[in-house]
Structure 1
Amino acid sequence: MKQLEQTITSLEVAEMMETRHQKILEKLDGSKDGKTKGIITILTEHDFVLSEYFQESTYKDISGKTNKCYKVTKLGCDFLANKFTGEKGILFTAKYVKRFHEMEEIITQPTCMEDILIFNLQEMKAVKEKMNEQDQKLKCIGTKVDGIKDIVALNPTDWRKETTDLINRMAHNLGGYEHIRAIREESYKLLEQRYGVALSIRLTNKKRRMAEEGICKSKRDKLSNLDVIAEDKKLVEGYTAIIKEMAIKYGVA
Protein backbone atom coordinates (compact mmCIF):
# COMPACT_ATOMS: atom_id res chain seq x y z
CA MET A 1 0.00 0.00 0.00
CA LYS A 2 1.17 3.53 -0.65
CA GLN A 3 2.78 5.10 2.40
CA LEU A 4 2.70 8.82 3.19
CA GLU A 5 4.31 10.42 6.19
CA GLN A 6 1.53 12.03 8.15
CA THR A 7 2.96 15.46 8.85
CA ILE A 8 2.39 18.96 7.60
CA THR A 9 5.02 21.69 7.59
CA SER A 10 5.11 24.64 9.92
CA LEU A 11 4.65 26.73 6.74
CA GLU A 12 1.28 25.04 6.19
CA VAL A 13 0.43 25.63 9.83
CA ALA A 14 1.15 29.34 9.42
CA GLU A 15 -0.99 29.45 6.28
CA MET A 16 -3.88 27.68 8.04
CA MET A 17 -3.63 30.10 10.95
CA GLU A 18 -3.28 33.08 8.60
CA THR A 19 -0.20 34.26 10.43
CA ARG A 20 3.53 34.72 9.72
CA HIS A 21 5.74 31.64 9.67
CA GLN A 22 8.14 33.40 12.01
CA LYS A 23 5.42 33.60 14.65
CA ILE A 24 4.98 29.81 14.53
CA LEU A 25 8.74 29.32 14.84
CA GLU A 26 8.78 31.61 17.88
CA LYS A 27 6.09 29.45 19.50
CA LEU A 28 8.23 26.39 18.85
CA ASP A 29 11.76 27.70 19.45
CA GLY A 30 11.04 30.51 21.89
CA SER A 31 11.87 34.18 21.64
CA LYS A 32 15.26 35.21 20.28
CA ASP A 33 16.14 37.04 23.50
CA GLY A 34 15.61 33.80 25.46
CA LYS A 35 13.02 35.31 27.79
CA THR A 36 10.25 33.01 26.57
CA LYS A 37 10.82 29.27 26.32
CA GLY A 38 9.56 27.54 23.22
CA ILE A 39 7.47 24.37 23.02
CA ILE A 40 10.47 22.42 21.65
CA THR A 41 12.65 23.33 24.63
CA ILE A 42 9.97 22.50 27.19
CA LEU A 43 9.21 19.10 25.65
CA THR A 44 12.91 18.23 25.39
CA GLU A 45 13.63 19.23 29.00
CA HIS A 46 10.85 16.94 30.21
CA ASP A 47 12.00 13.91 28.20
CA PHE A 48 9.14 13.83 25.70
CA VAL A 49 9.86 12.14 22.36
CA LEU A 50 10.09 15.28 20.25
CA SER A 51 9.64 13.47 16.92
CA GLU A 52 6.14 12.45 17.96
CA TYR A 53 5.23 16.14 17.83
CA PHE A 54 7.74 18.11 15.75
CA GLN A 55 10.58 17.16 13.40
CA GLU A 56 13.16 19.76 12.38
CA SER A 57 13.39 20.28 8.63
CA THR A 58 14.26 22.88 5.97
CA TYR A 59 12.77 24.48 2.89
CA LYS A 60 14.02 26.76 0.12
CA ASP A 61 12.38 30.11 -0.45
CA ILE A 62 11.86 31.70 -3.87
CA SER A 63 15.42 33.07 -3.83
CA GLY A 64 16.84 29.59 -3.31
CA LYS A 65 17.87 30.24 0.28
CA THR A 66 17.54 27.33 2.70
CA ASN A 67 15.47 28.17 5.77
CA LYS A 68 14.44 26.34 8.89
CA CYS A 69 10.98 24.85 9.33
CA TYR A 70 9.38 21.94 11.16
CA LYS A 71 7.37 18.95 10.12
CA VAL A 72 4.36 18.85 12.43
CA THR A 73 2.50 15.64 13.34
CA LYS A 74 -1.17 15.50 14.30
CA LEU A 75 -0.13 15.51 17.97
CA GLY A 76 1.94 18.61 17.27
CA CYS A 77 -1.05 20.28 15.62
CA ASP A 78 -3.16 19.42 18.66
CA PHE A 79 -0.51 21.10 20.79
CA LEU A 80 -0.43 24.26 18.66
CA ALA A 81 -4.23 24.45 18.50
CA ASN A 82 -4.29 24.72 22.29
CA LYS A 83 -1.89 27.66 22.10
CA PHE A 84 -4.22 29.67 19.88
CA THR A 85 -7.60 30.46 21.39
CA GLY A 86 -10.76 31.89 19.93
CA GLU A 87 -11.74 31.87 16.28
CA LYS A 88 -8.18 31.42 15.04
CA GLY A 89 -7.70 28.25 17.08
CA ILE A 90 -11.07 26.85 16.00
CA LEU A 91 -10.43 27.47 12.29
CA PHE A 92 -6.93 25.97 12.52
CA THR A 93 -8.32 22.86 14.19
CA ALA A 94 -10.94 22.44 11.46
CA LYS A 95 -8.32 22.82 8.71
CA TYR A 96 -5.66 20.48 10.09
CA VAL A 97 -8.19 17.79 11.05
CA LYS A 98 -9.47 17.84 7.45
CA ARG A 99 -5.90 17.76 6.09
CA PHE A 100 -4.90 14.72 8.14
CA HIS A 101 -8.16 12.99 7.20
CA GLU A 102 -7.27 13.49 3.52
CA MET A 103 -3.82 11.99 4.14
CA GLU A 104 -5.39 8.98 5.87
CA GLU A 105 -7.58 8.38 2.82
CA ILE A 106 -4.57 8.54 0.49
CA ILE A 107 -2.63 6.08 2.66
CA THR A 108 -5.44 3.51 2.63
CA GLN A 109 -5.97 3.63 -1.15
CA PRO A 110 -4.27 0.78 -3.09
CA THR A 111 -2.02 2.10 -5.90
CA CYS A 112 -0.98 -1.00 -7.86
CA MET A 113 -2.38 -4.43 -8.78
CA GLU A 114 -0.40 -6.10 -5.99
CA ASP A 115 -1.80 -3.64 -3.44
CA ILE A 116 -5.32 -4.12 -4.80
CA LEU A 117 -4.95 -7.91 -4.57
CA ILE A 118 -3.68 -7.66 -0.98
CA PHE A 119 -6.50 -5.28 -0.11
CA ASN A 120 -9.12 -7.63 -1.62
CA LEU A 121 -7.64 -10.65 0.15
CA GLN A 122 -7.74 -8.78 3.45
CA GLU A 123 -11.38 -7.90 2.84
CA MET A 124 -12.19 -11.53 1.98
CA LYS A 125 -10.43 -12.68 5.14
CA ALA A 126 -12.42 -10.17 7.21
CA VAL A 127 -15.68 -11.36 5.62
CA LYS A 128 -14.79 -15.00 6.28
CA GLU A 129 -13.93 -14.24 9.91
CA LYS A 130 -17.25 -12.40 10.26
CA MET A 131 -19.12 -15.40 8.81
CA ASN A 132 -17.32 -17.78 11.18
CA GLU A 133 -18.21 -15.48 14.06
CA GLN A 134 -21.88 -15.54 12.99
CA ASP A 135 -21.78 -19.35 12.72
CA GLN A 136 -20.47 -19.57 16.27
CA LYS A 137 -23.19 -17.21 17.48
CA LEU A 138 -25.87 -19.31 15.74
CA LYS A 139 -24.49 -22.50 17.31
CA CYS A 140 -24.50 -20.79 20.70
CA ILE A 141 -28.08 -19.64 20.18
CA GLY A 142 -29.05 -23.18 19.14
CA THR A 143 -27.50 -24.58 22.30
CA LYS A 144 -29.35 -22.01 24.41
CA VAL A 145 -32.65 -22.79 22.68
CA ASP A 146 -32.15 -26.50 23.38
CA GLY A 147 -31.37 -25.66 27.00
CA ILE A 148 -34.49 -23.51 27.30
CA LYS A 149 -36.56 -26.35 25.83
CA ASP A 150 -35.21 -28.66 28.54
CA ILE A 151 -36.11 -26.13 31.22
CA VAL A 152 -39.60 -25.53 29.86
CA ALA A 153 -40.15 -29.29 29.72
CA LEU A 154 -39.41 -29.65 33.44
CA ASN A 155 -41.48 -32.56 34.80
CA PRO A 156 -44.03 -31.24 37.37
CA THR A 157 -44.36 -34.67 39.00
CA ASP A 158 -40.67 -34.71 39.88
CA TRP A 159 -40.46 -31.00 40.59
CA ARG A 160 -38.39 -31.17 43.79
CA LYS A 161 -35.52 -33.08 42.21
CA GLU A 162 -35.53 -31.09 38.98
CA THR A 163 -35.78 -27.66 40.61
CA THR A 164 -32.95 -28.60 42.96
CA ASP A 165 -30.86 -29.64 39.97
CA LEU A 166 -31.53 -26.29 38.26
CA ILE A 167 -30.65 -24.38 41.44
CA ASN A 168 -27.35 -26.26 41.65
CA ARG A 169 -26.57 -25.37 38.03
CA MET A 170 -27.44 -21.71 38.67
CA ALA A 171 -25.08 -21.66 41.65
CA HIS A 172 -22.35 -23.23 39.56
CA ASN A 173 -22.77 -20.50 36.92
CA LEU A 174 -22.53 -17.85 39.63
CA GLY A 175 -19.23 -19.26 40.83
CA GLY A 176 -19.94 -22.04 43.32
CA TYR A 177 -22.42 -23.93 45.41
CA GLU A 178 -22.15 -21.36 48.20
CA HIS A 179 -24.71 -19.40 46.15
CA ILE A 180 -27.40 -22.08 46.58
CA ARG A 181 -28.86 -20.53 49.72
CA ALA A 182 -29.16 -17.06 48.16
CA ILE A 183 -30.83 -18.51 45.06
CA ARG A 184 -33.35 -20.44 47.17
CA GLU A 185 -34.13 -17.34 49.23
CA GLU A 186 -34.68 -15.35 46.03
CA SER A 187 -37.05 -18.01 44.68
CA TYR A 188 -39.06 -18.12 47.94
CA LYS A 189 -39.30 -14.33 48.03
CA LEU A 190 -40.61 -14.23 44.46
CA LEU A 191 -43.14 -16.94 45.27
CA GLU A 192 -44.39 -15.05 48.34
CA GLN A 193 -44.72 -11.82 46.36
CA ARG A 194 -46.63 -13.40 43.47
CA TYR A 195 -48.98 -15.57 45.50
CA GLY A 196 -49.38 -13.46 48.63
CA VAL A 197 -48.24 -16.18 51.02
CA ALA A 198 -45.90 -16.27 54.00
CA LEU A 199 -43.93 -19.51 53.78
CA SER A 200 -42.35 -19.06 57.20
CA ILE A 201 -45.78 -18.83 58.89
CA ARG A 202 -47.04 -21.88 57.01
CA LEU A 203 -43.90 -23.78 57.99
CA THR A 204 -44.34 -22.84 61.67
CA ASN A 205 -47.99 -23.93 61.59
CA LYS A 206 -47.08 -27.22 59.94
CA LYS A 207 -44.46 -27.97 62.60
CA ARG A 208 -46.98 -27.15 65.36
CA ARG A 209 -49.58 -29.50 63.88
CA MET A 210 -47.03 -32.29 63.62
CA ALA A 211 -46.04 -31.72 67.25
CA GLU A 212 -49.68 -31.96 68.26
CA GLU A 213 -49.87 -35.24 66.34
CA GLY A 214 -46.93 -36.55 68.35
CA ILE A 215 -44.39 -36.60 65.55
CA CYS A 216 -40.83 -36.49 66.90
CA LYS A 217 -38.83 -33.25 66.95
CA SER A 218 -36.00 -34.55 64.75
CA LYS A 219 -38.47 -35.17 61.95
CA ARG A 220 -40.12 -31.78 62.44
CA ASP A 221 -36.74 -30.05 62.30
CA LYS A 222 -36.10 -31.50 58.85
CA LEU A 223 -39.09 -29.68 57.37
CA SER A 224 -38.40 -26.88 54.88
CA ASN A 225 -40.28 -24.43 52.70
CA LEU A 226 -40.37 -27.09 49.99
CA ASP A 227 -42.57 -29.24 52.24
CA VAL A 228 -44.96 -26.31 52.62
CA ILE A 229 -45.00 -25.72 48.86
CA ALA A 230 -45.66 -29.42 48.23
CA GLU A 231 -48.99 -29.19 50.10
CA ASP A 232 -50.42 -26.62 47.65
CA LYS A 233 -50.68 -27.48 43.95
CA LYS A 234 -50.78 -23.79 42.94
CA LEU A 235 -47.60 -23.10 44.90
CA VAL A 236 -45.90 -26.07 43.24
CA GLU A 237 -46.81 -24.71 39.80
CA GLY A 238 -45.77 -21.18 40.78
CA TYR A 239 -42.47 -22.28 42.31
CA THR A 240 -41.63 -24.43 39.28
CA ALA A 241 -42.34 -21.51 36.94
CA ILE A 242 -40.15 -19.19 39.03
CA ILE A 243 -37.23 -21.63 38.99
CA LYS A 244 -37.53 -21.91 35.19
CA GLU A 245 -37.40 -18.11 34.86
CA MET A 246 -34.41 -17.86 37.17
CA ALA A 247 -32.58 -20.64 35.31
CA ILE A 248 -32.86 -18.69 32.06
CA LYS A 249 -31.90 -15.45 33.85
CA TYR A 250 -28.73 -17.01 35.30
CA GLY A 251 -27.68 -18.60 32.00
CA VAL A 252 -28.38 -22.24 32.74
CA ALA A 253 -29.97 -22.62 29.28
Structure 2
Amino acid sequence: MNQLIKVQENEQGEQRVSARELHKGLGIRERFSLWFERYEDMYVNGVDYEGVGLPTPYRKGSSKVQIIQDYLLSVDMAKHIAMMTKTDKGNQIRDYFIQVEKEHKALLNDPRIQMAMGLQSAQPMLDQKDKIIEEMKPKAVFADAVNTSKQSILVGDLAKLISQNGVKIGQNRLFAYLRDNGYLHKSGSQYNRPTQRYIDQGLFEVKESSHTNPDGSTRLTFTTKVTGKGQQYFVNKFLTNNDQMKIS
Protein backbone atom coordinates (compact mmCIF):
# COMPACT_ATOMS: atom_id res chain seq x y z
CA MET A 1 0.00 0.00 0.00
CA ASN A 2 1.35 3.41 -1.00
CA GLN A 3 1.95 5.74 1.94
CA LEU A 4 -0.21 8.82 1.39
CA ILE A 5 0.44 10.28 4.84
CA LYS A 6 2.85 8.96 7.44
CA VAL A 7 1.18 7.18 10.38
CA GLN A 8 3.48 6.89 13.39
CA GLU A 9 3.23 5.12 16.73
CA ASN A 10 3.74 6.73 20.14
CA GLU A 11 5.33 5.01 23.14
CA GLN A 12 1.99 3.40 24.03
CA GLY A 13 1.72 1.81 20.57
CA GLU A 14 -1.11 4.17 19.53
CA GLN A 15 -1.19 5.37 15.93
CA ARG A 16 -0.88 9.11 15.39
CA VAL A 17 -1.00 11.44 12.36
CA SER A 18 0.64 14.86 11.99
CA ALA A 19 -2.02 17.55 11.56
CA ARG A 20 0.31 19.52 9.31
CA GLU A 21 0.87 16.52 7.06
CA LEU A 22 -2.88 15.94 6.91
CA HIS A 23 -3.44 19.63 6.10
CA LYS A 24 -0.92 19.36 3.25
CA GLY A 25 -2.22 15.99 2.03
CA LEU A 26 -5.79 17.28 1.81
CA GLY A 27 -4.60 20.23 -0.26
CA ILE A 28 -6.07 22.78 2.15
CA ARG A 29 -5.20 26.35 1.09
CA GLU A 30 -6.42 27.99 4.28
CA ARG A 31 -3.70 28.86 6.80
CA PHE A 32 -2.95 25.87 9.03
CA SER A 33 -3.72 27.59 12.37
CA LEU A 34 -7.14 28.83 11.18
CA TRP A 35 -7.98 25.46 9.67
CA PHE A 36 -7.15 23.53 12.86
CA GLU A 37 -9.04 25.96 15.12
CA ARG A 38 -12.31 24.73 13.63
CA TYR A 39 -11.68 21.22 14.98
CA GLU A 40 -10.21 21.95 18.43
CA ASP A 41 -13.58 22.24 20.20
CA MET A 42 -14.97 19.18 18.40
CA TYR A 43 -12.39 16.84 19.95
CA VAL A 44 -10.75 16.30 23.34
CA ASN A 45 -7.22 17.59 23.88
CA GLY A 46 -5.05 14.86 25.36
CA VAL A 47 -7.34 12.13 24.05
CA ASP A 48 -7.98 12.80 20.36
CA TYR A 49 -5.00 15.09 19.80
CA GLU A 50 -2.01 16.67 21.52
CA GLY A 51 0.09 19.69 20.67
CA VAL A 52 3.75 19.20 19.73
CA GLY A 53 6.58 21.41 18.54
CA LEU A 54 7.87 20.70 15.05
CA PRO A 55 11.50 21.76 14.29
CA THR A 56 11.56 23.32 10.81
CA PRO A 57 14.32 25.10 8.82
CA TYR A 58 13.80 28.83 8.40
CA ARG A 59 14.19 28.27 4.67
CA LYS A 60 15.32 25.49 2.39
CA GLY A 61 19.01 24.68 2.91
CA SER A 62 19.27 26.83 6.05
CA SER A 63 21.02 25.44 9.14
CA LYS A 64 18.79 27.53 11.43
CA VAL A 65 15.58 25.98 12.67
CA GLN A 66 12.37 27.31 14.16
CA ILE A 67 9.80 25.45 16.25
CA ILE A 68 6.31 25.62 14.78
CA GLN A 69 3.05 24.32 16.23
CA ASP A 70 1.84 20.90 15.14
CA TYR A 71 -0.64 18.39 16.55
CA LEU A 72 -0.57 14.60 16.67
CA LEU A 73 -4.06 13.29 15.87
CA SER A 74 -5.64 9.93 16.56
CA VAL A 75 -6.40 8.04 13.36
CA ASP A 76 -10.13 8.32 14.14
CA MET A 77 -9.89 12.12 14.30
CA ALA A 78 -7.82 12.22 11.09
CA LYS A 79 -10.43 10.03 9.33
CA HIS A 80 -13.29 12.29 10.41
CA ILE A 81 -11.50 15.45 9.31
CA ALA A 82 -10.68 13.91 5.93
CA MET A 83 -14.32 12.87 5.49
CA MET A 84 -15.60 16.34 6.44
CA THR A 85 -13.65 17.96 3.58
CA LYS A 86 -16.17 16.32 1.20
CA THR A 87 -13.62 16.09 -1.59
CA ASP A 88 -12.34 13.17 -3.64
CA LYS A 89 -8.92 13.64 -2.00
CA GLY A 90 -10.51 13.61 1.45
CA ASN A 91 -12.35 10.36 0.68
CA GLN A 92 -9.15 8.83 -0.68
CA ILE A 93 -7.21 9.72 2.47
CA ARG A 94 -10.03 8.47 4.70
CA ASP A 95 -10.02 5.11 2.90
CA TYR A 96 -6.23 5.02 3.26
CA PHE A 97 -6.46 5.49 7.05
CA ILE A 98 -9.09 2.72 7.28
CA GLN A 99 -6.71 0.37 5.44
CA VAL A 100 -3.79 1.38 7.67
CA GLU A 101 -5.89 0.55 10.74
CA LYS A 102 -6.85 -2.86 9.34
CA GLU A 103 -3.21 -3.73 8.62
CA HIS A 104 -2.14 -2.50 12.07
CA LYS A 105 -4.79 -4.64 13.82
CA ALA A 106 -3.88 -7.68 11.73
CA LEU A 107 -0.24 -7.20 12.66
CA LEU A 108 -1.03 -6.90 16.37
CA ASN A 109 -3.09 -10.10 16.19
CA ASP A 110 -0.14 -12.05 14.79
CA PRO A 111 0.92 -14.44 17.61
CA ARG A 112 4.59 -13.89 16.77
CA ILE A 113 4.22 -10.14 17.17
CA GLN A 114 2.26 -10.55 20.41
CA MET A 115 4.97 -12.77 21.84
CA ALA A 116 7.74 -10.36 20.82
CA MET A 117 5.86 -7.38 22.32
CA GLY A 118 5.21 -9.29 25.53
CA LEU A 119 8.87 -10.23 25.92
CA GLN A 120 9.99 -6.69 25.13
CA SER A 121 7.66 -5.09 27.68
CA ALA A 122 8.36 -7.72 30.33
CA GLN A 123 12.16 -7.58 30.20
CA PRO A 124 12.62 -4.26 32.07
CA MET A 125 10.28 -5.51 34.80
CA LEU A 126 12.13 -8.80 35.07
CA ASP A 127 15.40 -6.90 35.42
CA GLN A 128 14.03 -4.84 38.31
CA LYS A 129 11.32 -7.15 39.65
CA ASP A 130 12.39 -7.04 43.30
CA LYS A 131 12.47 -3.24 43.38
CA ILE A 132 9.14 -2.95 41.56
CA ILE A 133 7.43 -5.43 43.89
CA GLU A 134 8.50 -3.46 46.97
CA GLU A 135 7.44 -0.13 45.43
CA MET A 136 4.04 -1.42 44.33
CA LYS A 137 3.01 -3.19 47.55
CA PRO A 138 1.44 -0.19 49.35
CA LYS A 139 -0.07 1.13 46.13
CA ALA A 140 -1.66 -2.20 45.25
CA VAL A 141 -3.12 -2.61 48.73
CA PHE A 142 -4.64 0.85 48.66
CA ALA A 143 -5.99 0.43 45.11
CA ASP A 144 -7.66 -2.85 46.06
CA ALA A 145 -9.27 -1.20 49.08
CA VAL A 146 -10.63 1.62 46.92
CA ASN A 147 -11.92 -0.88 44.37
CA THR A 148 -14.15 -2.51 46.97
CA SER A 149 -15.89 0.80 47.62
CA LYS A 150 -19.44 0.92 46.26
CA GLN A 151 -19.98 4.51 47.34
CA SER A 152 -19.39 7.42 44.97
CA ILE A 153 -17.61 10.45 46.43
CA LEU A 154 -17.20 14.13 45.59
CA VAL A 155 -14.18 15.41 43.67
CA GLY A 156 -13.04 17.20 46.83
CA ASP A 157 -13.05 13.91 48.72
CA LEU A 158 -11.04 12.30 45.92
CA ALA A 159 -8.46 15.08 46.30
CA LYS A 160 -8.20 14.21 50.00
CA LEU A 161 -7.69 10.51 49.19
CA ILE A 162 -4.91 11.32 46.73
CA SER A 163 -3.26 13.75 49.19
CA GLN A 164 -3.37 11.19 52.00
CA ASN A 165 -1.31 8.88 49.81
CA GLY A 166 1.56 11.24 49.11
CA VAL A 167 0.45 13.40 46.17
CA LYS A 168 -0.55 16.80 47.51
CA ILE A 169 -3.45 18.27 45.57
CA GLY A 170 -6.48 20.30 46.61
CA GLN A 171 -10.02 20.30 45.26
CA ASN A 172 -9.58 23.30 42.92
CA ARG A 173 -6.37 21.96 41.39
CA LEU A 174 -7.92 18.54 40.88
CA PHE A 175 -10.96 20.07 39.18
CA ALA A 176 -8.59 22.03 36.89
CA TYR A 177 -6.64 18.86 36.10
CA LEU A 178 -9.82 16.97 35.24
CA ARG A 179 -11.01 19.78 32.96
CA ASP A 180 -7.65 20.23 31.24
CA ASN A 181 -7.37 16.50 30.53
CA GLY A 182 -10.84 16.05 29.07
CA TYR A 183 -12.53 14.29 32.00
CA LEU A 184 -14.85 17.22 32.77
CA HIS A 185 -16.44 19.85 30.53
CA LYS A 186 -14.56 23.15 30.47
CA SER A 187 -17.39 25.59 29.85
CA GLY A 188 -21.07 26.17 29.18
CA SER A 189 -24.04 24.63 30.93
CA GLN A 190 -22.10 21.36 31.36
CA TYR A 191 -19.20 23.05 33.21
CA ASN A 192 -17.50 20.68 35.68
CA ARG A 193 -19.78 17.81 34.68
CA PRO A 194 -18.09 14.64 33.36
CA THR A 195 -17.84 14.07 29.63
CA GLN A 196 -19.95 11.21 28.29
CA ARG A 197 -16.84 9.19 27.40
CA TYR A 198 -15.84 8.82 31.05
CA ILE A 199 -19.38 8.33 32.31
CA ASP A 200 -19.64 5.40 29.90
CA GLN A 201 -16.36 4.05 31.28
CA GLY A 202 -17.88 4.06 34.76
CA LEU A 203 -15.48 6.63 36.29
CA PHE A 204 -18.13 9.24 37.12
CA GLU A 205 -21.81 9.63 37.77
CA VAL A 206 -23.98 12.75 38.02
CA LYS A 207 -26.39 13.13 40.94
CA GLU A 208 -29.48 15.19 40.14
CA SER A 209 -31.28 17.02 42.96
CA SER A 210 -34.34 19.26 42.96
CA HIS A 211 -34.73 22.29 45.21
CA THR A 212 -37.71 24.52 45.90
CA ASN A 213 -37.07 28.25 45.53
CA PRO A 214 -38.68 30.84 47.88
CA ASP A 215 -41.19 31.70 45.14
CA GLY A 216 -42.32 28.09 44.93
CA SER A 217 -40.58 27.25 41.67
CA THR A 218 -38.30 24.24 41.39
CA ARG A 219 -34.69 24.21 40.26
CA LEU A 220 -32.42 21.28 39.47
CA THR A 221 -28.79 20.97 40.52
CA PHE A 222 -26.24 18.49 39.27
CA THR A 223 -23.30 17.15 41.29
CA THR A 224 -20.31 15.33 39.80
CA LYS A 225 -19.36 12.24 41.82
CA VAL A 226 -16.49 9.77 41.38
CA THR A 227 -17.44 6.09 41.42
CA GLY A 228 -15.48 3.34 43.20
CA LYS A 229 -13.97 2.42 39.83
CA GLY A 230 -13.09 6.07 39.23
CA GLN A 231 -11.43 6.35 42.64
CA GLN A 232 -9.19 3.39 41.86
CA TYR A 233 -8.44 4.77 38.38
CA PHE A 234 -7.34 8.21 39.58
CA VAL A 235 -5.48 7.03 42.68
CA ASN A 236 -3.49 4.58 40.55
CA LYS A 237 -2.94 7.23 37.88
CA PHE A 238 -1.44 9.72 40.33
CA LEU A 239 0.55 7.20 42.34
CA THR A 240 2.01 5.15 39.50
CA ASN A 241 2.15 7.52 36.51
CA ASN A 242 3.44 10.62 38.28
CA ASP A 243 0.55 12.66 36.87
CA GLN A 244 1.08 15.09 39.73
CA MET A 245 3.99 16.47 37.69
CA LYS A 246 1.49 17.62 35.01
CA ILE A 247 -0.62 19.70 37.39
CA SER A 248 -0.18 23.45 36.96
Bin of the TM-score, shorter chain as denominator length: 0.3 to 0.5
TM-score by length of 2: 0.34
Higher relative contact order, structure no. (Cα contacts within 8 Å, ≥ 6 residues apart) = 1
Higher strand proportion (structure 1 or 2): 2
Which has a greater percent of helix?
A: 1
Rg comparison, structure with higher value: 1
